[in-house]
C-alpha cells in the first residue's frame, strides 16, 4: 500500500464536486487540469468550502485500494433513502432496493444513479469513492451494522456500482493515525 498525500484526496473531492456542476465530459480534461494545477492553499480552501470536515474525526493516512462492497456501509439514510435500506453493507442495500426504478429509491437519488449508470466506466475510472476505515460515520445510527469501511464521499456511486453488478471498487481509504 502506497501512501497518498491528503492534498491529492482533497483534489479528488474538488474534481468530483466540480464535475457535478460542470456536466460536460468533452471538457473533462480541462477541468481536471485546472483542479490539479491548484496550489495547496487553494485546494485547502475550496475543499473546506465543499464540506471537507474530516478533522472532527482525527488525522488520516490515505491509500488507494480495492474495497469489497460487502465490507462497506453507506451513510445511514443517504440522499433521503429510507434508513432501513442503509443498515447493511452497500451490497445489502443494493439487494434491498432491488433495481433502479424501484419505488424504494427517492426520485432525486434515482436520477443520480441513472446518470452514474449512463456513464458507468467514465465515472468508475475518474471519480473513485472515499472510504473511512472503521465506524466513524455509521456510528451515528446505533442500529446500523458495522463494517470495515464507511463510505464518506460517493454513496450514490457505490450504490450505482452495486446495482450495476460490481462488488468491488477502487477508492481512497482514510485510516486514523
* Same domain, yes or no: 98 and 135: yes
Taking 80 as the threshold, does the pLDDT of residue 147 lie above it? yes
* Same domain, yes or no: 81 and 155: yes
C-beta separation of 53 from 36 below 8 A? no
* Same domain, yes or no: 84 and 169: yes
> The domain containing residue 8 runs over which residues?
1-52
- Alpha-carbon distance of 175 to 177, in angstroms, equals 6
The string of pLDDT tens digits covering residues 8-65 is 999 999 999 888 766 555 688 888 999 999 999 999 999 988 888 777 666 899 999 9
Predicted TM-score (pTM) of this structure = 0.90
Pairing mode, strands 72-73 and 130-133? unpaired
Taking 90 as the threshold, does the pLDDT of residue 84 lie above it? no
> Which of 60-64, 109-113, 136-140, 163-167 has the least mean pLDDT?
136-140
Amino acid at each position: 500500500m502506497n501512501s497518498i498525500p491528503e492534498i491529492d484526496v482533497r483534489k479528488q473531492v474538488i474534481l468530483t464536486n466540480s464535475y457535478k456542476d460542470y456536466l460536460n465530459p468533452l471538457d473533462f480534461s480541462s477541468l481536471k487540469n485546472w483542479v490539479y494545477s491548484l496550489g495547496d492553499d487553494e485546494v485547502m480552501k475550496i475543499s473546506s468550502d465543499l464540506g471537507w470536515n474530516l478533522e472532527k474525526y482525527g488525522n488520516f493516512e490515505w491509500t488507494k485500494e480495492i474495497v469489497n462492497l460487502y465490507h462497506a456501509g453507506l451513510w445511514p439514510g443517504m440522499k433521503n433513502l429510507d434508513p432501513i435500506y442503509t443498515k447493511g453493507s452497500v451490497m445489502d442495500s443494493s439487494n434491498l432496493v432491488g433495481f433502479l426504478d424501484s419505488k424504494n429509491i427517492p426520485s432525486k437519488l434515482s436520477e443520480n444513479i441513472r446518470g452514474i449508470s449512463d456513464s458507468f466506466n467514465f465515472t468508475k475510472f475518474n471519480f473513485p469513492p472515499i472510504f473511512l476505515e472503521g465506524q466513524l460515520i455509521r456510528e451515528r445510527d446505533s442500529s446500523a451494522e458495522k463494517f470495515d469501511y464507511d463510505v464518506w464521499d460517493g454513496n450514490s456511486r457505490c450504490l450505482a456500482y452495486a446495482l450495476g453488478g460490481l462488488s468491488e471498487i477502487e477508492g481512497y481509504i482514510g485510516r486514523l493515525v
